[in-house]
Amino acid sequence: MMVDAAGRVDLARHVASPNCDERPSAAAITLLVIHNISLPPGEFGGDGIERLFTNELDSASHHYYRTLADVRVSAHFLIRRSGELLQFVPCAKRAWHAGASAWCGRPGCNDFSIGIELEGADDVPYTDSQYRVLAELARVLRSAYPIVDIVGHRDIAPSRKTDPGASFDWSRFRGSIA
């Protein structure tokens, strides 16, 4: 696995999201943020996540999707339960994954972070394939960018987020990238 100068990972399936913009010119990428997502909540394997990140989610196709009708979000990466890696936004650009957030007193985490979504839920164990791909991706990104910290969404937005949840094994993950 390799990352090019624009921040495109060669082994990822690329699905372009319009929900991104330029990073501030002086913003070095120093943070990885791990999230989870499933659409509809608790259901895995459908195309809802891709449709959400590309603004193609049909809000009438599921009652939960009505709550997402005007939401414009993205992440740099999604790791499916199977281990498939998708990239929605090149790392050189700012994905809209963190929302209102701060890390170490620095607000606006989208400016200086890369967002990695795991297909999952707070209370559902992640798969071996997801841990394997996440570790490989984290190692590659750490070699390409001056990443200092790897945190969960709950760490940068504790009053509104809980992901990646109690089911994420931080010890296992940290041991795999040491």
Active site annotation includes 43: no
Pairing, β 93-95 against β 20-22? antiparallel
Q: Of 22, 43, 117, 136, which is the active-site residue? A: 117
Within 8 A by CB and 6+ apart from 109, the residues are 31, 33, 98, 101, 102, 103, 156
CA distance 89 to 18: 8
Residue type at 56?
A: E
Active site residues: 117
